[in-house]
Amino acid sequence: MSDISVPPLDLKSLLAPHREKIAAEINEVIDSCYFVLGPKVEAFEAAFSAYCEAAHCVGVNSGTSALHLATRVLGVEPGDEVIVPAYTFASTAWCASYEKATPVFVDIDPATFCLDPKAVEAAITPKTKAVVAVHLYGHPAAMDELRAICDKHGLGLIEDAAQAHGARLNGTRVGNVGDLTCFSFYPTKNLPACGEGGAVVTNSAELDNRLRGLRNHGSFERYYHNEVGFNYRMEAIQGAVLNILLPHIEAWTHARRAQAKRYTEALAGLPVELPQEAPGAESVYHLYTLRMPKRDELIAYLREKGIGTSNHYPRALHLQPCYADLGYKEGSLPESERAAREVINLPIFPSMSEEQQAHVITSIRSFFGS
Ligand SMILES: Cc1ncc(COP(=O)(O)O)c(C=O)c1O
């Protein structure tokens, strides 16, 4: 075992410089006894919509709730179809299932791990109601093509930006091309809360208003319910923490992009596929992914060297037991299945030291005997 250890993510070192401020903010919430929604959440909503360069932000209690609300306000109904990538976190598909609609899994573009627009167009049927584009690993999906396809067929377009706070495509921040964009602030995300958290961002005042009612039991006035709603409210403590951390996200993204560049330069020439940015795309490198057919040997080797890797996602969604009734067979979405077999996520987090990253690089090179 090596002296240097490198976890996949070290949240403790990331949060350490901000602990006192976070603790003071949490104490302020406790003193106020305003624990749910309220001024801290409103301040965060204003700051985060400005950060996304979008008009509205509705704070909720998770990225999954954000996706569910986005699906509901687009009018997805039982029996409708919602097109989602097969290679993503499961919540991307839950939003269709929660509304008793059918998730229709389509393949990814292997260059970006994001939805393949041609596969989306081929999957459209008269029942299709919406498309969910995931900006996977922090890389923006092909939004211009997807917007054009959705407009041509009259479909709603949701962006799942749970992993992509601040990513840009052709200069535009994620959150401005889809009808609604969903974020997660789960602690492992690029902008972490100290607990669960999420948000929906939109440029539509009408959708914003509907979301605000739905997250709060379908209610704008206590004990009067316009529609059957949910308890998806953001907690004040999470709003307060996010207000402290949001001003740091640009520096964090800068650090992630510099680390990604360093990996790409140092690992060039090895028999692995390195991540690429599509033309016009600015990834926020939520994860840095290598691809190689025999990944398990490298994972074990790195573990011996004290390096933690992660493996999202070892099984594509169309082959998950919970979706067995949809009848997808192995081989039906080959790029998603290949990604599930080949991807290794290397440590990448803004507080990773140069020494830690150098240890990862040297170890990978030594695995390949170079
Ligand atoms: C792509 C993607 N979508 C949705 C989610 C769901 O977010 P949450 O865990 O906040 O519910 C996550 C994260 O877990 C995710 O990575």
Contact 259, 348 (CB under 8 A): yes
* Pocket-testing residue among 91, 181, 286, 311, ligand 1, by greatest number of atoms within 8 A of Cβ: 91
Do 172 and 288 fall within a single domain?
Answer: no
Contact 342, 295 (CB under 8 A): yes
Q: Is residue 4 part of a domain?
A: no
Q: Is residue 233 part of a domain?
A: yes
Q: Is residue 3 part of a domain?
A: no
82: part of which helix (H) or strand (E)? strand 81-85
* Pocket-testing residue among 98, 114, 186, ligand 1, by greatest number of atoms within 8 A of Cβ: 186
Do 78 and 180 fall within a single domain?
Answer: yes
Do 57 and 122 fall within a single domain?
Answer: yes
Number of domains in the chain: 2
Nearest ligand 1 atom, CA 197: 10
What pLDDT is recorded for position 286?
98
pLDDT, one tens digit per residue, over 158-181 is 999 999 999 999 999 999 999 999
Do 308 and 188 fall within a single domain?
Answer: no
Do 208 and 300 fall within a single domain?
Answer: no
Do 216 and 254 fall within a single domain?
Answer: no
| pLDDT-above-90 percentage for the chain | 98
Last residue of a domain, one of 219, 247, 275: 247
Mean pLDDT of the chain: 97
3-state secondary structure of 162: coil
pLDDT, one tens digit per residue, over 279-302 is 999 999 999 999 998 899 999 999
- Residue 91, C-beta contacts closer than 8 angstroms, at least 6 positions apart: 63, 64, 67, 160, 162
In this prediction, residues 108-133 reach a mean pLDDT of 98
Q: Which residue's C-alpha comes closest to atom 8 of ligand 1?
A: 63
Q: Is residue 115 part of a domain?
A: yes
Which CATH number covers residue 300? 3.90.1150.10
Q: Give the residues across from 201 on adjacent strands.
A: 57, 181
In this prediction, residues 226-232 reach a mean pLDDT of 97
Q: Is residue 6 part of a domain?
A: no
What pLDDT is recorded for position 293?
87
Do 220 and 253 fall within a single domain?
Answer: no
125, HSE (Cβ side, Cα atoms, 13 Å)? 11
Domain limits for position 258: 249-367
Do 191 and 238 fall within a single domain?
Answer: yes
Q: Rounded to the nearest whole angstrom, what is the distance from the C-alpha of residue 96 to the centroid of ligand 1?
A: 14
In this prediction, residues 331-346 reach a mean pLDDT of 97
Q: Is the CB of 88 under 6 A from ligand 1?
A: yes
- Residue 326, C-beta contacts closer than 8 angstroms, at least 6 positions apart: 102, 103, 105, 318
How deeply is 154 buried, as exposed, middle or buried, from its count of CB atoms within 10 A (0-12, 13-18, 19+)?
exposed
What pLDDT is recorded for position 6?
97
Last residue of a domain, one of 190, 213, 247: 247
3-state secondary structure of 290: strand
Q: Is residue 5 part of a domain?
A: no
Q: Which residue has the tokens 């299709």?
A: 128
Which CATH number covers residue 111? 3.40.640.10
What pLDDT is recorded for position 250?
98
Q: Is the CB of 134 under 6 A from ligand 1?
A: yes
Q: Is residue 280 part of a domain?
A: yes
What pLDDT is recorded for position 1?
59
DSSP 3-state percent helix, strand, coil across the chain (nearest 5): 45, 20, 40
In this prediction, residues 135-154 reach a mean pLDDT of 98
What pLDDT is recorded for position 322?
98
3-state secondary structure of 269: coil
Contact 312, 343 (CB under 8 A): yes
Do 50 and 192 fall within a single domain?
Answer: yes
Confidence grade of residue 2 (pLDDT, cut at 50, 70, 90): low
Do 273 and 174 fall within a single domain?
Answer: no
pLDDT, one tens digit per residue, over 64-87 is 999 999 999 999 999 999 999 999
Q: Is the CB of 243 under 6 A from ligand 1?
A: no
Q: Is the CB of 350 under 6 A from ligand 1?
A: no
| pLDDT-above-70 percentage for the chain | 99
In this prediction, residues 319-348 reach a mean pLDDT of 97
Q: Rounded to the nearest whole angstrom, what is the distance from the C-alpha of residue 240 to the centroid of ligand 1?
A: 21
Do 50 and 122 fall within a single domain?
Answer: yes
Do 318 and 354 fall within a single domain?
Answer: yes
Nearest ligand 1 atom, CA 136: 1
- The answer, yes or no, to whether residue 225 has pLDDT greater than 70, is yes
Q: Is residue 7 part of a domain?
A: no
Q: Is the CB of 288 under 6 A from ligand 1?
A: no
Q: Rounded to the nearest whole angstrom, what is the distance from the C-alpha of residue 186 to the centroid of ligand 1?
A: 7
Last residue of a domain, one of 222, 247, 272: 247
